[in-house]
Structure 1
Amino acid sequence: MDYHQLQEEVKAYAKEIGIDKVGFASVDVFGELKARLVRQEQLSYQSGFEKGSVEERTEPARLLPEAQSIISIALAYPSKMKDAPRSTRGDRRGIFCRASWGRDYHDVLRDRLNKLGEFLKEKVPEVKFKSMVDTGELADRAVAERAGIGFSGKNCATITPEFGSYVYLGEMITNIPFIPDEPVDDSCGDCNICVDACPTGALVQGGQLDANRCIAFLTQTKGFLPDEFRSKIGNRLYGCDTCQTVCPKNKRKDFHLHEEFEPDPELVKPKLKPLLSISNREFKEKFGPMAGSWRGKKPIQRNAILALAHYKDESSVDELIRLMNEDPRPVIRGTAAWGLGKIGTAQAFEAIEQAWEKENDESVREEMKKGLDFFTNSY
Structure 2
Amino acid sequence: METTTAPDDREFYAKLKEEIRDAAPKLGIDKIGFASAEPFGELKQILLRHREQGYESGFEEPDLDKRTDPALSLERPQSLISVAIAYPSKLPNPPKSEPGAYRGIVSRSSWGEDYHKALRKRMAALESFIKERVPDARIESMVDTGALSDRAVAQRAGVGWSGKNCATITPEWGSWVYLGELVTSIPFPPDRPLTDQCGDCTICIDACPTGALVGPGQLNSSRCISFVTQTKGFVSDELMRKIGNRLYGCDTCQIVCPVNKGKNWTHQPDLQPEPEKVKPLLKPLLTMSNKQFRERYGDMAASWRGRKPIQRNAVIALGNFRDASAVPLLSDVLLHDDRPVLRGTSAWALGRIGGAEAREALKEAERTEADPEAAERIREALAQLAGNDERA
Match of 2:300 among 284, 290, 299: 290
2:287 aligns with 277
The amino acid across from 1:272 in the alignment is: L
Match of 1:361 among 371, 383, 386: 371
CA distance in 2, matches of 1:206, 1:156: 8
The amino acid across from 1:145 in the alignment is: Q
**Identical pairs, percent:** 55
CA distance in 1, matches of 2:36, 2:193: 11
Match of 1:181 among 186, 191, 200: 191
The amino acid across from 1:273 in the alignment is: K
CA distance in 2, matches of 1:51, 1:222: 19
The amino acid across from 1:40 in the alignment is: H
Give the superposition deviation at 1:187: 1.4
Deviating beyond 3 angstroms after TM superposition, the runs of 4 or more aligned structure 1 residues are none
Q: Give SS of 2:242's match.
A: coil
The amino acid across from 1:131 in the alignment is: S
The amino acid across from 2:188 in the alignment is: F
Give the superposition deviation at 1:52: 4.0
1:31 aligns with 41
Residues 66-75 or 350-359, more deviating: 350-359
Give the superposition deviation at 1:352: 0.5
The amino acid across from 1:269 in the alignment is: K
1:114 aligns with 124
Unaligned 5+ segments in structure 2 are 1-8
Q: Give SS of 2:15's match.
A: helix
CA distance in 1, matches of 2:254, 2:13: 37
Give the superposition deviation at 1:185: 2.9
CA distance in 2, matches of 1:103, 1:130: 23
Is 1:77 the equivalent of 2:87? yes
CA distance in 1, matches of 2:96, 2:167: 29
TM-score by length of structure 2 reads 0.96
1:63 aligns with 73
2:348 aligns with 338
The amino acid across from 1:210 in the alignment is: N
CA distance in 2, matches of 1:83, 1:99: 19
CA distance in 1, matches of 2:210, 2:348: 20
CA distance in 1, matches of 2:190, 2:383: 60
TM-score by length of structure 1 reads 0.99
1:124 aligns with 134
Residues 12-21 or 91-100, more deviating: 12-21
1:11 aligns with 21
Q: Give SS of 1:55's match.
A: helix
Match of 2:115 among 105, 115, 140: 105
The amino acid across from 1:239 in the alignment is: G
The amino acid across from 1:192 in the alignment is: T
Per-residue Cα deviation, 1:147-182 (whole angstroms, up to 9, x for no partner)? 000111100100101111000000000000001101
Match of 2:56 among 32, 46, 56: 46
Aligned residue pairs total 379
CA distance in 2, matches of 1:52, 1:364: 31
Residues 354-363 or 242-251, more deviating: 354-363
Per-residue Cα deviation, 1:288-347 (whole angstroms, up to 9, x for no partner)? 000011000000000000000000000000000000111001101111111111111111
CA distance in 1, matches of 2:265, 2:346: 39
CA distance in 2, matches of 1:106, 1:324: 35
CA distance in 2, matches of 1:346, 1:209: 42
2:4 aligns with none
Give the superposition deviation at 1:15: 1.9
The amino acid across from 1:94 in the alignment is: G
The amino acid across from 1:357 in the alignment is: R
1:171 aligns with 181
Give the superposition deviation at 1:66: 2.0
Give the superposition deviation at 1:13: 2.0
1:314 aligns with 324
Give the superposition deviation at 1:228: 2.1
CA distance in 2, matches of 1:174, 1:41: 29
Give the superposition deviation at 1:135: 0.7
1:238 aligns with 248
The amino acid across from 1:51 in the alignment is: E
Aligned-residue CA RMSD in angstroms?
Answer: 0.8
CA distance in 2, matches of 1:16, 1:93: 37
1:228 aligns with 238
The amino acid across from 2:280 in the alignment is: P
Give the superposition deviation at 1:281: 0.9
CA distance in 2, matches of 1:228, 1:355: 23
Q: Give SS of 1:169's match.
A: strand
Q: Give SS of 2:102's match.
A: coil
Q: Give SS of 1:357's match.
A: helix
CA distance in 2, matches of 1:137, 1:18: 24
1:90 aligns with 100
The amino acid across from 2:31 in the alignment is: K
The amino acid across from 1:182 in the alignment is: R
Is 1:194 the equivalent of 2:208? no
The amino acid across from 1:243 in the alignment is: C
CA distance in 2, matches of 1:185, 1:71: 18
CA distance in 2, matches of 1:211, 1:26: 29
2:161 aligns with 151
